[in-house]
Structure 1
Amino acid sequence: MDRETFEITAIAHVVGGRIEPTDDYWGGTRAIIRIDDSFPVDSVAGLAEFSHLEVVFRFHLTDPADLHPGARRPRDNPDWPPSGIFAHRNMRRQNWLGVSRCRLLAVDGLDLHVEDLDAVDGTPVIDVKPWFQEMGPRGDVHQPAWPTEMLRDYYAPKPS
């Protein structure tokens, strides 16, 4: 199988919210996904009817030298098993792409007001899709114990 290379253009950027990526406490973080004004306002027609969005973005602050394709322990925790790059969801990925589901609070022109988007101010957004319940997992969902332990505070509100 040949590896393909292709170009992707950002369709939006994150405005506001967090300025630095952190491991936890994304709960309540509000930001705006500002869609490029080359899109007509009616490109978001009907979007306000949805409660959640799925957002594909680029981890633009990642150090290109910080790629770990092999197995490593999540968050370097010795209590968790070594897992390969495709068993992680972090920024240390070949194409630095992230996927997040967030709550859509409001649509104002081409500004999508969101909450719990785990992307920082200035993040290039590759795509925005409404979340359809029917597109969620089918069948029984299972995972190892470490993600539940690791993400216990991921969407908790940031401590004061």
Structure 2
Amino acid sequence: MATYQVESIATVVGGHTRVQDDYQGGVESIIRLDGTYPLETLQGIEEFSHIVVTWRFHLASPGDVQLHARSPRGNESWPATGTFVHRNHRRPNQLAISYPRLLKVEGRDLLVTDLDAVDGTPIIDLAPYFEQMGPRGQVRQPAWPGEMLADYWHDASERP
């Protein structure tokens, strides 16, 4: 199996301070580009409403990886599904992809909202979201993700 070494290109500053399953919405944070990259690497990104952010679950450990079928969030009313059907830190490479809204760019700082990573999260890659590269055709999924994520993007200030 091939292995790859990647370095973070940016870091999340502010925003969520702890890992939580739901109420991710309405929180602003900064994606701060590392100083080794010239500012022109961001040139034009402010024209886009959303960006694609690849990040690492840096608070997870290799021991968190689970290579077996299990019910999402331990809820037995949802079917047991395999590791690659979950979108959490228990995946082998412990990577995530998010689509936050880009509010503004100030130098190396990208101010975003609705990024579900926590303060200090290393960013592996970022790119603008191109509508034409989103899913083609009708999106299909079982009922359980909608049930599980019903509160995911609720405003964090409304957290019980």
TM-score w.r.t. the length of structure 2 is 0.97
Give the 5 Å matches for 1:7-156.
7-156=5-154
TM-score w.r.t. the length of structure 1 is 0.97
- Matched residue pairs, number? 158
Can you give the 5+ residue segments of structure 1 that lack an aligned partner in the other structure?
Answer: none
The code of the aligned residue for 2:117 comes to A
Identity fraction in percent: 53
Can you give the 5+ residue segments of structure 2 that lack an aligned partner in the other structure?
Answer: none
Distance 1:96 1:75 in 2: 17
The code of the aligned residue for 1:120 comes to V
**Over the residues paired in the alignment, what is the CA RMSD in angstroms?**
0.8
Distance 1:111 1:44 in 2: 10
Cα displacement (A) at 1:66: 1.3
List structure 1 segments (4+ residues) > 4 angstroms apart after TM superposition: none
Q: Secondary structure at the match of 2:5?
A: coil
Distance 1:55 1:47 in 2: 13
Distance 2:80 2:123 in 1: 30
Q: Secondary structure at the match of 1:39?
A: coil
Q: Secondary structure at the match of 2:69?
A: coil
Q: Secondary structure at the match of 2:15?
A: coil
